[in-house]
Amino acid sequence: MRRVVILGSTGSIGMQALSVIRADPARFEVVGLAAGTNADAVAAQAAEFGVEHTALGAAEAEQLVRDVEADVVLNGITGSVGLGPTLAALQAGRTLALANKESLIVGGELVTQAAAPEQMVPVDSEHSAIAQALRAGAKAEVRRLVLTASGGPFRGRDAASLADVTPAEALAHPTWKMGRVVTTNSATLVNKGLEVIEAHLLFDVPYDRIEVVVHPQSVVHSMVEFADGSTIAQASPPDMRLPISLGLDWPHRIAGAGHPLDWTRATAWTFEPLDEEAFPAVALAKRVGQAGGTYPAVYNAANEQAVDAFHAGRLPFPGIVDTIARVVDAHEAPAELSLQTLAEAEQWARVEADRLISAG
């Protein structure tokens, strides 16, 4: 039986993880729960699963991870505040099931240096797909990683047509039900840019060998192309319980965690090149990732401020990525990467983004 701590237990990832555990109680024991501010919901979850150790807020979650004996920590916290709990889990020797991509992207080498081989297991559907496909060959045989993107609600639109889109339209994702920030990031493709950086850090593949392809059906979750020309793809209906279940008990598969594809029905999968003129966030993310250091933290923090401004009616939709690019261009990275310099860079990026947005 694997002892599990769930961070972000009242969010989408956390609740789906609990549904996986609820369906297989002989396999898992929940020993810790943490959320942001929803004390009543955490208390109800703790009562259902018999959990003694709970926490509210990122700082308490970090301490919970250090104090509670566990085999795996699922980090489903949203945002870079998840960095402390991510480092705590790695330093404590827990397997880290990582749904909080921002902590890896922002922390960069601080996280990768803290992680033992195979200690981090990706929970994002795209990176879980890559992890599964990589088992088909040796690392030296990998030619490139191919991340799939649904294209979001504005797939097929040109750059000029995006000037007047509304927050409601940006939140109308055709495939996934997610929170406001992640759904908006999927509409701008900032989320895919973050996932490119995440793929580089997880799998140590150069940025020039990581590609993005638009796949609106969201059935093929990502692919690995090998040196002999073979491409191994992981396909399943859109359901986060499958990658969550793998994260909780990697590399073992949990029967019934997700639903299989129905091969008795006619279907079609399509793939399209990414329009980088209309959606420049991925190319910008590659540049940011190659720069390394505090640049990914600046990219992420500027985006969060810009998304807030967009939903408040203070910034047009294309202004989100434009603001990120301007903040990144203005950034001067410190000589050393540390938790302190990361925090300072993030704070600077938020202030700079707000200044640019206010200036118009």
Domain chopping of the chain, boundaries: 2-123+240-249, 138-217+273-359
DSSP secondary structure code for residue 267 in this structure: -
Distance from C-alpha of 291 to C-alpha of 229, rounded to nearest angstrom: 30
Q: What is the reported pLDDT for 173?
A: 77
Beta bridge partners of 95: 72
ω into residue 122 within 30 of 0, thus cis? no
- pLDDT band at residue 78, thresholds of 50, 70 and 90? confident
User: Per-residue pLDDT averaged across 171-191, rounded?
Assistant: 84
Q: What is the pLDDT of residue 176?
A: 64
Convert the pLDDT of each residue in 251-283 to its tens digit.
999 999 999 999 999 999 999 999 999 999 999
* DSSP H or E segment with residue 33: strand 28-35
Tokens of 121: 């297991």
* First-residue to last-residue Cα distance in the chain: 56
Q: What's residue 79's pLDDT?
A: 85
Residues in the chain: 360
Lowest mean pLDDT among 62-66, 169-173, 307-311, 339-343: 169-173
Q: Is the pLDDT of residue 321 over 70?
A: yes
- Closest-CA residue to 102 (of 76, 127, 140): 76
Angle at CA of residue 309, ends 306 and 315, nearest 5°: 90
Mark out the alpha helices in 149-212 (DSSP H runs). 167-170, 180-188, 190-203
Q: How far is CA 207 from the centre of its chain?
A: 17
Answer with the residue of higher pLDDT: 6 or 151. Answer: 6
Distances (CA, A) of 103 to 19, 147, 334: 24, 20, 19
Residue 47 CB coordination number (10 Å): 9
Q: Inform me whether the pLDDT recorded for 179 exceeds 90.
A: no
Please, what sign has the CA dihedral across residues 98, 342, 8, 213? negative
Residue 206 neighbours by CB under 8 Å, 6+ apart: 200
User: What mean pLDDT is predicted for residues 168-192?
Assistant: 85
Topology alike, domains 2-123+240-249 and 138-217+273-359: no
Closest CA to 124 of 166, 82, 75: 75
| 32 — pLDDT class (breaks 50, 70, 90) | very high
Looking at the predicted structure, is the pLDDT value of residue 174 above 80? no
Q: Name the CATH code of domain 138-217+273-359 (choices 1.20.1050.10, 3.20.20.100, 3.40.50.150, 1.10.1740.10).
A: 1.10.1740.10
| DSSP secondary structure, 288-337, as one string | HHHH-TTHHHHHHHHHHHHHHHHHTTSS-THHHHHHHHHHHHH----SS-
Rounded to an integer, what distance in angstroms lies between the CA atom of residue 62 and that of residue 73?
11
Name the DSSP letter for residue 174: S
Give me the mean pLDDT over the 31-36 stretch.
Answer: 96
Q: Does the structure show a pLDDT above 70 at 243?
A: yes
Residue 102, pLDDT above cutoff 70:
yes
The pLDDT mean for the chain works out to 95
Residue 175 has pLDDT above 90, yes or no: no
**Domain covering 2-123+240-249 assigned CATH 3.30.870.10 in the classification:** no
pLDDT at 168: 92
Burial of residue 139 (CB within 10 Å: 0-12, 13-18, 19+) is: exposed
Q: Let me know: does 5 contact 73? Beta carbons within 8 Å.
A: yes
Give the mean pLDDT of 112-128.
96
pLDDT of residue 181: 85
Quote the tokens at residue 133.
């496909």
Between CA 222 and CA 234 the distance in angstroms is 6
Structure tokens at 70: 């566990």
